[in-house]
Structure 1
């Protein structure tokens, strides 16, 4: 039975190795993608939502902190955010019982050497928030939703940026 399972696993792995998939961060922190991500300057983004997204991006992109070994920026990431809160559930007495928080981002990755826009894209996410009788609890839920949305949007942006840098590397290698 164990031998059969090992053969089955091997049979599945052989076709996968020929499909062209390869790790994005092959080479660890020395890979071209990882070095490209570390060389992105993320200027300040206005507002609390901007502060949250910028910090999440810096964490995700592994941007060097002040006082540590710094990498000269090769790219700049310009980000514009749209944060909206809309009522969803309305009760008979016209009070809102559920809200939807929406965070959308329009961003551009710019090559500082050439001024070329390498990526012009959008990312977004939304979350539902229950409106309860305690105003404090509702405000806390809205803020928590914003924090989670900021992380999600930053993750989506970083993934798309990494894909762009990998494609650029492949184009330069050919």
Structure 2
């Protein structure tokens, strides 16, 4: 009976209509579309981290001619979360938010206008060095998370448009 239920579940799953976004590897329409996205420099240390993470996820640096531009504005803030009786901070929260737009370079139209963000809690300890190191590590982790969110949304947007970049115009 269990085997029958397992087989029925597998059949139902195969009929759900889901298909892999990156089927076909680097030759897939999604991968080709992502490789055609240019990410200009983003201001600040957080911007540098997000840009590097986006470049890695989008496959930038290949042979593809840029056909899209991803404009990103970051808001990086650090706020006190826990304050003790003697007005010292015991916990901080680092928040990284990105507002981004995917622009079609040929037409100038905005294909995607969205936000991404994440936050992390940081314990403030007696060692100032340890606290600064924790703040920097939190920024690195948040940059990766925000870049992942943005790359996923860009991939979905390009996939819904047909994914494959247009042929180069002579």
TM-score, with structure 1 as normaliser: 0.90
Write out aligned runs for 1:13-162 (5 A). Answer: 13-64=10-61, 69-162=62-155
Q: CA deviation at 1:21?
A: 1.0
Partner of 1:169, secondary structure, is: coil
CA RMSD of aligned residues (A): 1.2
Q: CA deviation at 1:85?
A: 0.1
How many residue pairs are counted as aligned between the two chains? 163
Q: CA deviation at 1:6?
A: 4.4
Residue by residue over 1:11-57, the C-alpha shift from the partner in whole angstroms, topping out at 9 and shown as x without a partner, is 11111122211111111111111100011000000110000000000
Partner of 2:168: none
Structure 1: stretches of 5+ with no match in the other structure? none
When you count helix as a share of all residues, which structure comes out higher? 1
Distance 1:85 1:99 in 2: 7
Partner of 2:11, secondary structure, is: helix
Distance 1:5 1:162 in 2: 38
Distance 2:87 2:42 in 1: 36
